[in-house]
Amino acid sequence: MTQTISRRTALGSGLAAGAALAMPGIARAADQTIRIGVLTDMAGTYAFLTGEGSVLATQFAIDDFHKQHPEIKVELLSADMQLKPDVALAIAGDWYDNKGVDLLMDLPLSSAAIAVGEMAKAKDKLAIFTGAASSILTGERCGPNHLHWSYDTWGVPHAIVAASVKDGGDSWYFVTADYAYGQQLARDSASFVTAAGGTVLGEARYPFPNTTDFSAFLLQAKASGAKVIGLANGGVDSNNCIKQAAEFGIMASGTKVVGVGLLVNNIPAIGLQAAQGVRLAEPYYWDMNDGTRAFGRRFQAGMKTGAMPNSAQGGQYSATMHYLKAVVAMGPEKAKESGRAAIAQMKAIPIQDAIFGSSTIREDGRVIHPMYLFEAKAPAESKEEWDVLKLKATIPADQAFRPLAEDKCPMLHA
């Protein structure tokens, strides 16, 4: 199992921090170093959407926090979960039990996030999901020890689908990644299609991961006669679907292709020639205002690829900073004692940052902020590589995520 551990952020005595890691059980009780583990995808389908960028954004937050509070030691660990739930659970268990990790983050695989959320509850640790997207994490599988930070499979399609139906796309066919995230994304999207007066003509599910040829699924969707092909997937899969749809002339024939799991990183990878007009929704875009641009340029300078951040990576910064503010308020010892107590403290402090602006943490663990509907620019409209989106609509925070009245979170009905 590959595990990369970064100790650049072990603030204070490096020897003390290293010794603390080696101490089992009671010996570590005196160690007040806060440890944050980023469990991510370093080489798979979602690597360019999370991966090194998620680790970098977390590092930025720790660096900025250290400038304000050098007296509190913070250490960053990172590992590749390989998009395998069993690998994710093995690393998470080791981190919580043996490495003294207090907060586990990212988890760009919803099935793994669900399991890690249960583990955090059993051990009274803390998990914050920024890469995982399934809305079930604050629905049926909500819990007192995890939060869902950036976006989810309710908020993203809610921002996209109604506008697409209103524009005439009233019949849909879904191409779906066959696992928890894709299935939930398709279900949530389909509910918005019907709520807006449209119809869902069918769905083609493909094996995830390791599918690269989507021709059969796309042609099946095209043959249905649907006006819109909804891609209930993400990462490289979305890129390949859109590229192959363009090659088959699907968009040129008048059929709309909507990537309900797209993030900004997908657009340069696809290319504006193929992606122009494609709609996506995120709660963060680097070119929104001075604050988002400052973070975007800083992130871009730190990435070997020169990539801009998406809202999952921005969420890593936002969530890490807010957690560390809670650590200051309650003290490192109490923060390490209980993940539930840390969440209670996080809820008591206003969230304000350059990533999402003002946010709140709801009773079900959903972090609430505005969502934005974007459209990919035409090549002639773009002034630089990452100037790829134009704002079409803003969904206010109180409308951007699933209403509590429709929530199935057991904590709300206990």
Q: For residue 165, what are its two tokens?
A: 């139906």
Q: What is the pLDDT of residue 107?
A: 97
Buried b (16+ CB within 10 A) or exposed e, 217-231: bbeebbebebbbbbb
**Cβ neighbours of 328 (radius 10 Å):** 16
Q: What is the distance between the alpha carbons of residues 157 and 260, in angstroms, rounded to a whole number?
A: 6
**Cβ neighbours of 410 (radius 10 Å):** 13
| Cβ-Cβ contacts under 8 Å for 338 (sequence gap 6 or more) | 124
For residue 76, which of 129, 126, 19, 37 has the smallest C-alpha distance?
37
Q: What is the distance between the alpha carbons of residues 212 and 312, in angstroms, rounded to a whole number?
A: 24
Q: What is the pLDDT of residue 371?
A: 96
Q: Give the whole-number percent of the chain exceeding pLDDT 90.
A: 88
What would the DSSP string read from start to end of 111-163? HHHHHHHHHHHHHT-EEEESS---GGGGTTT--TTEEE-S--TTHHHHHHHHH
Answer yes or no: is pLDDT of 68 > 70. yes
Q: What is the distance between the alpha carbons of residues 271 and 259, in angstroms, rounded to a whole number?
A: 14
Q: What is the pLDDT of residue 303?
A: 98
The fold of the 156-282+372-400 domain, in CATH, is: Rossmann fold (3.40.50)
pLDDT tens digit sequence for 4-19 = 544 444 333 332 333 3
Largest CA distance in the chain: 67
Q: What is the pLDDT of residue 401?
A: 96
Terminal C-alpha separation, the chain: 39
Answer yes or no: is pLDDT of 2 > 90. no
Phi, psi for residue 325 in degrees, rounded to 5: -65, -40
List the chain domain ranges.
14-151+289-368, 156-282+372-400
Confidence class for position 413, pLDDT limits 50, 70, 90:
confident
Whether the ω angle into residue 70 lies within 30 degrees of 0, i.e. cis, is no
CATH of domain 14-151+289-368: 3.40.50.2300
**What is the length of the chain?**
414
Q: What is the pLDDT of residue 15?
A: 29
Q: What is the distance between the alpha carbons of residues 104 and 165, in angstroms, rounded to a whole number?
A: 38
Q: What is the distance between the alpha carbons of residues 35 and 20, in angstroms, rounded to a whole number?
A: 11
Cα 68 to the center of its chain, rounded Å: 27
Question: Which residue's entry shows tokens 């429709």?
Answer: 406
Q: What is the pLDDT of residue 181?
A: 92
Confidence class for position 30, pLDDT limits 50, 70, 90:
low
Q: For residue 272, what are its two tokens?
A: 């504006």
Lowest mean pLDDT among 25-39, 147-161, 264-278, 395-409: 25-39
For residue 368, give the H/E element and its range. Answer: strand 367-368
Q: What is the distance between the alpha carbons of residues 107 and 131, in angstroms, rounded to a whole number?
A: 5
Confidence class for position 28, pLDDT limits 50, 70, 90:
very low
pLDDT tens digit sequence for 231-244 = 999 999 999 999 99
Q: Are 14-151+289-368 and 156-282+372-400 equal in CATH topology?
A: yes
Q: Give the whole-number percent of the chain exceeding pLDDT 70.
A: 93
Q: What is the mean pLDDT of residues 21-25?
A: 41
pLDDT tens digit sequence for 88-142 = 999 999 999 999 999 999 999 999 999 999 999 999 999 999 999 999 999 999 9
